[in-house]
Amino acid sequence: MSRSRRALLAAAVAAAVAVPLTGGPAGAAPLTAGPGAATGDRQQQYAGAAAEYGVPESVLLGVSYLESRWDTHAGTPSTSGGYGPLHLTDAAHVASLPGSGHVDAGEDPRGDESRPLTLAAPAASRASALPNAALRTLQAAATLTGASPDVLRSDPAANIRGGAALLAAYQKELGGPVGAGTDPGAWYGAVARYSGADAEDTAAAFADEVYAQIRAGASRQTDDGQQVTLAARAVTPKQDALHRLGLRRTERPDGLECPVGLGCEWVPAPYEKYGPGAGDYGNHDLANRPAQQKIEYIVIHDTEEYYDRSVDLVKQADYLGWHYTLRSADGHVAQHIKTKDVGWQAGNWYVNTKSVGIEHEGFAGLGTWYTEAMYRSSAKLVGYLAHKLNIPLDRQHIIGHDNVPGTIAANVEGMHWDTGPYWDWSHYFDLLKAPFRTTGTKRTGLVTIDPDFAANRPAFYGCNQQPPDLPDPVPPAEPCPLRGSSAVILHSAPSEDAPLVNDRGLRPDGSPDTMYISDHGARASAGQTYAVAEVRGDWTAIWYLGQKAWFHNPASAPTAKWATGLVVTPKPGRATIPVYGRAYPEQDAYPAGVPYQTISPLQYTFAAGQRYAVGGILPSEYYQASTFDGSSPGDWTVIRGDLKYVQVQFGHRIMYVNLDDVLVLPSPIGAPR
């Protein structure tokens, strides 16, 4: 999401007509009649609902875990309109962002000044392609349980009962056995239907995850402080009922780049001409990666749109292209561009040519939450791609769109800030089986940000509101709902009362950043590693955008882990060195006819005595692609120079410094004590 497109307009999603369920419990039981409904013990609420509706408790717990990890999200909806621990969907009750797409009018997602891209107006939106019933399960649960929609949205016990009632109804429709003591494996078809998927492979992927969770077990404290446990048990799912659901079967053509067991289909983005000019084509560029150029990054985006609308947009030749889109409700994946080719997705041509872009249905500042089903599908996909493309599973290479730097100083202010502070990076990397770990001590000179997501609830404001163009003063705005966050707030001194640090790219006048939801210039995010500048009691300072930035990091409840690694510092005799948003070659490297891409520093200062964590040493590269048929001089070639760059965690975004300007040192060298 870019800084200038912030109006999150309240509009109802087109109301869908719920498909009636058959075979549910006779009559509507009062809300208070269910066992466990009157108690605040969440474990008992699951047990009571399972007994009342004849659902094996392990199945109810497993489905709920795959929907929400048993969290309540304070009664707020997911992107797909799901509420509560069982993700009962009420899409017509959710505010949306109609017709926005992922970019502003006039924005250049290609990020290459040699051939600026002007996008056409997006085509008209259309209604969701998901089955109506999948978007209106809350109304169906209200009919089955007698609880009002408002209660089902806000009361966890009622929500759990509603989910149990739906599972039982689905099981009866399929002719399966009902009863709390029945074989959990016999509920595979009902579990698959609960996913809401319209494709058989996606429904199966959801059910397989549920049964894998039942076999593994789980125990955690929910976001409202309830301890819930799913005891591990052996179970053999009976998958024969899956085909009776009547779901569509997606094609998996040769060359589809998705792991086995993930619901995935090929929905191609067009590579075609749409005008008379040599550059009038879209919406990506042909390449031959990684044989021709190594892919360094996977960029995690959110769509700022609903899934179907996003897929419509990526099918426009005169729009922009990315590699994959994931759906919130069920984790379904669509691939649009081969990973060998270059998507126009990150707003930085250097990053575009060295990355795969993955869009996730969601809104960074709308107040909705990302579903567990989508997190899991995304982690499976990213793990598969990282292995295939030899990309390290760390936050230097698996980055958010908000971590992509501006190419030149003039572009910094307009760069995107999705997936935003509510994406759970720590949980995501747990799913990738690459958790953030402590590898050092207070004296080893680096920290990896990693707050307790559920307990870390920064007081942001301005969700669903239109902020002004920064750096103008921010008007009074409503607080955002307090919710878990990956973001740690950075102050200019070791005190909660101290102003936030300044991001010169957002506020050239030096004024402090704010807690506006889109104003990310004073935040560090989970998994990012920084060089320690100073430690003072419960406060830790890191080097950040050329200054000391302080965050609260008490030993009793740490928000970061001590780490080891490499750092860079200016070579002796250099008072300051430049910082760049791309790693381009020197002018002599460009062949005749190919315009030189200026090595232009950003507006930040890297001064002597400061240190920044190293993310890798990279060759200088520029991929020349400016015509549809490759007819321009040097087209479809990678131009490489003698320069080398070091990727550093310089602020919230990654940036680059010239290797000739710095010393690369082990982190303990000069570490603060």
Q: What is the pLDDT of residues 436-468, one digit of tens each?
A: 999 999 899 999 999 999 999 999 998 876 554
| pLDDT of the residue at 478 | 85
CB 102 within 8 A of CB 303: yes
Residue 504 lies in a domain: no
Calculate mean pLDDT across residues 372-392: 98
Calculate mean pLDDT across residues 22-34: 33
Exposure letters 260-286 (e unless 16+ CB within 10 A, then b)? eebbbbbeebbbeeeeeeebebbbbbb
CB 175 within 8 A of CB 55: no
Whether 20 shows a pLDDT value over 50: the answer reads: no
| pLDDT of the residue at 98 | 47
Tokens representing 664 are 């690369």
| pLDDT of the residue at 35 | 38
pLDDT per residue as tens digits for the range 324-362: 999 999 999 999 999 999 999 999 999 999 999 999 999
Domain CATH for 136: 1.10.530
Would you place residue 18 in the very low, low, confident or very high pLDDT band (cuts 50, 70, 90)? very low
pLDDT per residue as tens digits for the range 269-288: 999 999 888 888 999 999 99
Phi-psi region of 316 (alpha: psi -120 to 50; beta: other; left: phi over 0): beta
| pLDDT of the residue at 7 | 33
At a CB cut-off of 8 Å and minimum separation 6, what does 441 contact?
562
Whether 526 shows a pLDDT value over 70: the answer reads: yes
Exposure letters 103-131 (e unless 16+ CB within 10 A, then b)? bbeebbbbbbbebebebeebeebeebebe
Rounded (10°) CA dihedral 198, 200, 203, 204:
180
pLDDT per residue as tens digits for the range 189-206: 999 999 999 999 999 999
Residue 601 lies in a domain: yes
36 or 140: which leads in pLDDT: 140
CB 102 within 8 A of CB 359: yes
Residue with tokens 């020349």: 624
| pLDDT of the residue at 373 | 97
| pLDDT of the residue at 138 | 96
Calculate mean pLDDT across residues 519-528: 97
Residue 639 lies in a domain: yes
Residue 280 lies in a domain: no
Calculate mean pLDDT across residues 54-60: 98
HSE at residue 472, side-chain half, CA atoms within 13 A, is: 8
**How many C-beta atoms surround the C-beta of residue 397 within 10 A?**
20
Give the end of a domain, one of 196, 224, 245.
Answer: 245
Give the end of a domain, one of 186, 216, 245.
Answer: 245
Cα(630)–Cα(138) distance, integer angstroms: 53
Whether 66 shows a pLDDT value over 70: the answer reads: yes
Residue 645 lies in a domain: yes
Whether 574 shows a pLDDT value over 60: the answer reads: yes
Cα(200)–Cα(191) distance, integer angstroms: 12
7 or 251: which leads in pLDDT: 251
Tokens representing 60 are 């109810």
Q: What residue type is 252 in one-letter code?
A: R
Q: Which helix (H) or strand (E) holds 535?
A: strand 529-536
Beta bridge partners of 343: 284
Whether 9 shows a pLDDT value over 50: the answer reads: no
Whether 525 shows a pLDDT value over 50: the answer reads: yes
Beta-sheet pairing, 612-624 with 637-649: antiparallel
Residue 329 lies in a domain: no
4 or 629: which leads in pLDDT: 629
CB 136 within 8 A of CB 92: yes
Beta bridge partners of 122: none
Q: Phi, psi (5° rounding) for residue 429?
A: -75, -25
Q: What is the mean pLDDT of the chain?
A: 89
Q: Which helix (H) or strand (E) holds 525?
A: strand 523-525
At a CB cut-off of 8 Å and minimum separation 6, what does 248 contact?
198, 199, 200
Report the alpha-carbon angle 486-301-483, nearest 5: 30
| pLDDT of the residue at 366 | 79
Residue with tokens 């381009």: 584
Exposure letters 618-645 (e unless 16+ CB within 10 A, then b)? bebbbbbbbbbeeebebbbbbbebebeb
Would you place residue 10 in the very low, low, confident or very high pLDDT band (cuts 50, 70, 90)? very low
347 closest CA partner among 117, 658, 618: 117
pLDDT per residue as tens digits for the range 468-495: 455 555 556 788 989 999 999 999 999 9
| pLDDT of the residue at 434 | 98
**How many C-beta atoms surround the C-beta of residue 525 within 10 A?**
25
Beta bridge partners of 613: 567
Q: How would you write 595-629 as a 3-class SS string? A: CCCCCCECCCCEECCCCEEEEEEEEEEEEECCCCC
Cα(160)–Cα(152) distance, integer angstroms: 8
Q: How would you write 182-197 as a 3-class SS string? A: CCHHHHHHHHHHHCCC
| pLDDT of the residue at 91 | 79
Exposed/middle/buried for residue 315 (C-beta within 10 Å: 0-12, 13-18, 19+):
middle
Cα(355)–Cα(233) distance, integer angstroms: 40
Give the end of a domain, one of 198, 222, 245.
Answer: 245
Residue with tokens 């912030």: 6
Calculate mean pLDDT across residues 491-520: 96
Q: How would you write 137-152 as a 3-class SS string? A: HHHHHHHHHCCCHHHH
pLDDT per residue as tens digits for the range 203-218: 999 999 999 999 999 9
Q: What residue type is 541 in one-letter code?
A: A
Whether 431 shows a pLDDT value over 90: the answer reads: yes
| pLDDT of the residue at 11 | 28
Would you place residue 367 in the very low, low, confident or very high pLDDT band (cuts 50, 70, 90)? confident
- If one counts the domains in the chain, the total is 2
Whether 110 shows a pLDDT value over 50: the answer reads: yes
CB 397 within 8 A of CB 296: yes
Q: Phi, psi (5° rounding) for residue 170?
A: -60, -40
480 closest CA partner among 498, 462, 467, 501: 462
Cα(141)–Cα(21) distance, integer angstroms: 10
368 or 557: which leads in pLDDT: 557
Residue 602 lies in a domain: yes
Whether 104 shows a pLDDT value over 60: the answer reads: yes
Residue 185 sits in which domain range?
A: 31-97+128-245
Residue with tokens 């307790």: 452
Beta bridge partners of 71: none
Tokens representing 403 are 């971590």
At a CB cut-off of 8 Å and minimum separation 6, what does 431 contact?
375, 376, 379
Residue 177 lies in a domain: yes
